[in-house]
Structure 1
Amino acid sequence: MKKTLLLLLFIVITSCYQETAIVIEGDFTTSYANEDESIPVIIKIDNKITGADSYEWTFEGGEPAISSAKNPGEVLYKKQGTYTIKLIATNVDGERKEFSKSVVIKEGINIEFTHEIIKSNYSPVEVVLKNATIGEGLTFKWDFQDGAPATFTGKTPPNVVFTTPGDHLITLTVSNGFESEKQTQTITVAPYLVSLFSYEPNFEDDDNEAPVTINFSNKSISAISYKWSFEGGNPSISTEENPKVVFTNAGSHEVTLEAFNDKTSQIFKSTITVLPDTNLRTLTNIKLGINSAHNNNNIGAMFSTVTRQVYKANEINDQNSGLIDIVFQGLNSNFTYNRFISPDQANNYGFLSLQNAQSTIFINSQNLCNCGLNFTESQFDAMVNDSPIKSLNISYSAAGEQQFGLIYPRIILFKTQDGRKGAIKIKDMVKNGASSYILCDIKVQKQ
């Protein structure tokens, strides 16, 4: 009887033990650290499995590659791809269970591309693009502002042509399916080629009378070389950027500039008009101050027919003093005593001495000089070339250089040190105290 009871008790205990054996349950989850799916990627492991006593983790392509910890924490992936995370869980009851999950690691984005302009940046500009971006599973989208083509999808686009002058953006957008990056570079297309020039004569030729020396100023845009032709000019052709040309004959002369770059060329033409030579320089409305106006630096009393400038006392220096060939002496503001004097005699008439002073002969009074001169105001006004004065006998005489008073219009004849003859017409005598002056026109032979 006792044996029978013990047997029954053993059966009951054994049955209860089998019913309470530990079962391996649950699963593990993975997540991207910082939600970053592109390399380098950190995968976080969250183990929610129960009933296991030991763990064998295998991380394909990861660091670490294996682990026996219940919660291995984080796994680093440095290469793009799809990898399997496997777990074998066991317990003391001999139960074994296998779990696995796949993780997708996307390629990191590090955009590298270059552009190269074929020949030059003059329109049209052809651009070669080289894409050095490294990675698998990436997509590429190109945008070419005002280019042809305007867009392209793929790693390496065809050559792109830009024609419109200005800055144009090249934008490359790279995506790995998780995120996108952009890089932009700029192409600058030079302005369209324009052939253009302006010109001006030398200072001494600004009346455009033959012979005239013309200085050409090249205003062309986007040009790298030039071909000039000058009808009636010397030289007749030139490849200089800014040539200087002499035209010896009066008339109209056509000037042609063909400007080039490595893509195209363009022609611009203009006409130079050269006037007949009068050998006469006409200068109008010249103000010459009395002595006090000059010495007080209000209105100059000294003039150069070479520079065509009036000089006050403080404007005279070693460079211009030797060019002064006309000096007016106005003793007072009432114009009771006036005369034109030779520059080399200026220090005798209330002025400072001039360095390298010129000697000019003046006939202040034609009727007193007894030299047979009677050049009238009408003759002065009618004079359009030097013919009326080149035969005049202008020579020094004490009587001819005598002073004159407040009488105008008045004609004063002169001859410069270099032999040029001229006439001064006093048109007005303006009383203004210490700033009084005479107003003149001057006609003089050219150098």
Structure 2
Amino acid sequence: MKKTLLLLLFIVITSCYQETAIVVEGDFTTSYANEDESIPVIIKIDNKIAGADTYEWTFEGGSPSTSSKKDPGEILYNKQGIYTIKLVAKNVDGERKEISKTVTIKEGLNIEFTHEIVKSNYSPVEVILKNTTIGEGLTFTWDFQDGMPSTFTGKTPPNVVFTTPGNHTITVTVSNGFESEKQTKTVTVAPYLVSLFSYEPKFEDDDYEAPVTINFTNKSASATNYKWTFEGGNPAISTEENPTVVFTSAGSHEVTLEAFNDKTTQVYKSIITVLPDTNLRILTNIKLGINSAHNNNNVGAMFSTVTRQSYKANEINDQNSSLIDIVFQGLNSNLTNNRFISPDQANNYGFLALKNAQSTIFINSQNLCNCGLNFTEGQFDTMINDTPLQSLTINYSAAGAQEFGLTFPRIILFKTQDGRKGAIKIKDMVKNGTSSYILCDIKVQKQ
């Protein structure tokens, strides 16, 4: 009887134990720290498992790779990919639950690309692109402003050609499916090749009478080399950027400039007309003031046939004083006592002495000089070359140097220190108080 009771009690106790066994239940969740899915990525684990006594975590590709903690915290991933997180939860009652989840780790974005121009940046410009961006699972979208092609999708773009001068952007947009980044570089295309030049004669050759020395100014754009051809010039050919050329014969001379770069060439032409040599410099409407006008710096009394300028007292310096070859003396505002004097005698006639002054012979009165000269106003007006001057004998004489009064038109002859002969035609005498002056034209030999 006792044995029977003990057996019944064991059965009851065993039945009660099986009914109260603890079940392992629940789940865990994962989340991206800071919502950042690009490497480096931190995955947070939120364990909501109940009824377990032990936990076996396996983090494929993660750090740490395993854990036995209930709450393993944060797992670091440094490589792109899809990884499995596995949990085996158990308890002492022999209950067990296994859960697996996957996390997607996206590649980080660190764009690296270079561009290299083939040959030069003269149009057309070909650009080689090298994409060295590291990562898997990335997409690349390229935009080439005004380029050919204009767009491309893929990691390795083809060479791109830009033809329009100016700045052009190359933009690549890289995406890992979670986020996108852009990087832009600029390609500058030089202006189209243009062959162009201007020219200017030397100061003493500005009348374009042969021989003419001309300075050429190259105004070409986007050129690296030049070939000049000068018809009738010396030199006849030049590769200088800005050459100087002498044209010795009268006529029309064609000048050709061929401009080059490593992509193309262009030609520009112009005609230069050289006139016959008259050996005569014609200067018109020259004002020469009386002494007071000069010394008061109102109207200059001194003139240079070399610089073709008149000078007031305050304009004379060590550089131009030796170039002055004409000096007018007017004693009063009524212009009743006038004469042209040699520059080296200026200090004897109410002017300051000129440094390194020239000696010029003047014939103020052809009638009184008794030197056989009779150069008329008509001869002056019709003179188009120096032939009428060549036969003149101009020597100093006191009679020829004497002053003249208020009489015009009037012809004054002169010979400069370097032997050039000339004539001055006084065509007006303007009374203006201390600023009175004469108005004249001058014709003088050039050499």
TM over 0.5: yes
Q: In structure 1, give the amino acid aligned to 2:351.
A: F
Question: Counterparts of 1:354-433 in structure 2 under 5 Å?
Answer: 354-433=354-433
Q: What is the aligned partner in structure 1 of residue 58 from structure 2?
A: 58
CA distance in 2, matches of 1:125, 1:86: 56
Compute the RMSD of aligned alpha carbons. Answer: 1.7
* DSSP-derived class of the 1:339 partner: strand
CA distance in 2, matches of 1:10, 1:403: 164
CA distance in 2, matches of 1:431, 1:100: 117
* DSSP-derived class of the 1:50 partner: coil
When normalised by structure 2's length, the TM-score is 0.96
Q: Which consecutive unaligned segments of at least 5 residues does structure 2 have?
A: none
Distance 1:429 1:12, change over 3 A: farther
Q: In structure 2, give the amino acid aligned to 1:28.
A: F
Q: What is the aligned partner in structure 2 of residue 106 from structure 1?
A: 106
CA distance in 1, matches of 2:67, 2:351: 110
CA distance in 2, matches of 1:418, 1:444: 12
Deviations 1:50-69 (A, max 9, x none): 11222221111111122222
* DSSP-derived class of the 1:400 partner: helix
Distance 1:17 1:284, change over 3 A: same
Q: CA deviation at 1:379?
A: 1.7
Deviations 1:135-165 (A, max 9, x none): 1111111111111111111211121111111
Q: What is the aligned partner in structure 2 of residue 184 from structure 1?
A: 184
Q: What is the aligned partner in structure 1 of residue 297 from structure 2?
A: 297
Q: What is the aligned partner in structure 1 of residue 208 from structure 2?
A: 208
Q: What is the aligned partner in structure 1 of residue 321 from structure 2?
A: 321
Q: In structure 2, give the amino acid aligned to 1:268.
A: Y
Count of residues in correspondence between the two structures: 447
Question: Does residue 28 in structure 1 map to residue 28 in structure 2?
Answer: yes
Q: Which consecutive unaligned segments of at least 5 residues does structure 1 have?
A: none
Question: Counterparts of 1:45-444 in structure 2 under 5 Å?
Answer: 45-444=45-444
* DSSP-derived class of the 1:94 partner: coil
* DSSP-derived class of the 2:204 partner: helix
Q: CA deviation at 1:123?
A: 1.1
Q: CA deviation at 1:9?
A: 6.0
Q: CA deviation at 1:92?
A: 2.5
CA distance in 1, matches of 2:29, 2:68: 17
Deviations 1:30-69 (A, max 9, x none): 1111111111111111111111222221111111122222
CA distance in 1, matches of 2:432, 2:42: 96
**Following superposition, which runs of at least 4 residues in structure 1 exceed 4 angstroms of deviation?**
1-14
Q: In structure 2, give the amino acid aligned to 1:87.
A: L
Q: CA deviation at 1:221?
A: 1.1
Q: CA deviation at 1:435?
A: 2.4
When structure 1 is superposed on structure 2, of 71-80 and 273-282 the one drifting more is 71-80
Q: In structure 1, give the amino acid aligned to 2:409.
A: P
Q: CA deviation at 1:406?
A: 2.2
Q: What is the aligned partner in structure 2 of residue 42 from structure 1?
A: 42
Q: CA deviation at 1:409?
A: 2.1
Q: CA deviation at 1:376?
A: 1.9
Q: In structure 1, give the amino acid aligned to 2:171.
A: T
CA distance in 1, matches of 2:85, 2:292: 108
When normalised by structure 1's length, the TM-score is 0.96
* DSSP-derived class of the 1:294 partner: helix
* DSSP-derived class of the 1:262 partner: coil
Q: In structure 1, give the amino acid aligned to 2:120.
A: S
CA distance in 2, matches of 1:67, 1:332: 120
When structure 1 is superposed on structure 2, of 426-435 and 207-216 the one drifting more is 426-435
* DSSP-derived class of the 1:379 partner: helix
Q: CA deviation at 1:12?
A: 4.6
Q: CA deviation at 1:348?
A: 0.7
CA distance in 2, matches of 1:345, 1:231: 49
CA distance in 2, matches of 1:29, 1:333: 114
CA distance in 2, matches of 1:161, 1:28: 55
Question: Counterparts of 1:3-18 in structure 2 under 5 Å?
Answer: 11-18=11-18
Q: CA deviation at 1:431?
A: 2.4
* DSSP-derived class of the 1:170 partner: strand
CA distance in 2, matches of 1:123, 1:269: 23
